[in-house]
Structure 1
């Protein structure tokens, strides 16, 4: 059986065929295709803050990109260019905290890395151009920025990325304080590009969009970690 990877998603108006602006649960297919190519079975998870029971059916969790995390969650006021989605914050935090408690493999992409940071007690910069003086992390509408990152020797992300350190990003917020997470990657302007959890078997956040290139180094590592968990659970059940 393929490991089942849950992917968080939006609820937004969408148009197709004869249907116009119909509220829809969706996520860019790049995420689904990246998980599928890595050997996983993708399941799209709409925002739902009632409980985290769906985790019992999952082997891994992928926190997808999207809108800004509500600054109130890290004790800050909302700045003019910050756009939040309370439904995603509420639903994803329920899943994330339960997944951390269960030591479920987690990959956070862009917003997902920021959500990991906030859940770990950290905080965010709300508009990077004001801090950095440039817009290379989000050069234009629908246009990915491209640059190289540096990674901490011996970190999980350094081992995964190898010699190819080119990343593709699209974000205007970034990590200010990682909380209890460990920063393991940086852009050349010093902005954190990856974080890892020191006490979980696989919790990785990246500020860029690896789904853009269907990067099998990252999605493969998530699926592999989920597969290991499947085997451990199967062995535990057999021993009962």
Structure 2
């Protein structure tokens, strides 16, 4: 049986390695390693023409929208606040197009951190532009407990409260009408969202690629198989 092909979106950033310094498509190695450990084949998807999203998604068995820069507030009808980071407009446009193509085609979709936020925005939700307490320090993952909502897909995957690696300063504000919240942090922050029904679309606010709990990624790979 062929292993499911899972596309994972990437950053596009200036980078340096060896004798080279130039723009690069980047992705922390934890993402493809987690896909591979869960039984999938990882294909990296750097920002591209949004018009190509449908064609790209048609070649995939599953899609992961990775973490990264803040979503530009104009995408959900807001002005940037003082602590909102610089926009990544190419990523926003590309990843929103990928999300919409995956939802139309029924391709299993997992949004991680920024990816969960983009899923909410793609479906008409909004974001809190800054909150405290969800990082361990600059460049250091924090950890906190998330509690699943009974009866949700996430609760089927991870039925108990669990500690997760976290690094974000934005979160869901108004939840899109078609999504349901499926986990919360102790402070009430929405930590997982999902699209109910026959399709498979889940977003988690934390970073499973930075931990050792494979259940979320394994569930995506099973759905893609």
Question: Normalised by the size of structure 1, how large is the TM-score?
Answer: 0.89
Aligned match of 2:142: 145
Q: Distance in 1 between matches of 2:196 and 2:57?
A: 22
Worse overlay, 116-125 or 158-167 = 158-167
Deviation at 1:147, TM superposition (A): 1.1
**Of 114, 117, 120, which aligns to 2:120?**
117
User: Are residue 209 (structure 1) and residue 207 (structure 2) matched?
Assistant: yes
Does the CA contact (< 8 Å) of 1:33 and 1:214 recur in 2?
no
Give the structure-2-normalised TM-score.
0.94
More helix by share: 1
Q: Structure 1 stretch 153-162 or stretch 2-11: which is displaced more?
A: 153-162
Equivalent residues in 2 for 1:1-240 (5 A)?
A: 1-20=2-21, 22-48=22-48, 49-52=50-53, 53-83=55-85, 84-128=87-131, 135-163=132-160, 165-179=162-176, 180-227=178-225
Q: Secondary structure at the match of 2:25?
A: strand
Return the alpha-carbon distance in structure 1 between the equivalents of residues 161 and 196 of structure 2. Answer: 24
Shift in Å, 1:214: 4.3
**How far apart are residue 155 of structure 1 and its match?**
1.3
Deviation for aligned residue 1:164: 5.3
Cα root mean square deviation, aligned: 1.1
Residues 34 and 215 of structure 1 are in contact (CA less than 8 Å); yes or no, is this contact kept in structure 2?
no
- When Rg is computed on C-alpha atoms for both structures, the one with the higher figure is 1
- 2:146 touches 2:161 (CA, 8 Å); kept in 1? no
- Unaligned runs of 5+ residues in structure 1 are 129-134, 228-240
Q: Is contact 1:114-1:175 (8 Å) kept? A: yes
Cα distance, 1:160 vs. partner? Answer: 1.4
Task: Name the SS of the counterpart of 2:223 in structure 1.
Answer: helix
Which runs of no fewer than 5 residues in structure 2 stay unpaired?
Answer: none
How many pairs were matched up?
220
Q: Secondary structure at the match of 1:193?
A: strand
Question: Per the alignment, in what secondary structure is the counterpart of residue 68 of structure 1?
Answer: coil
- List structure 1 segments (4+ residues) > 4 angstroms apart after TM superposition: none
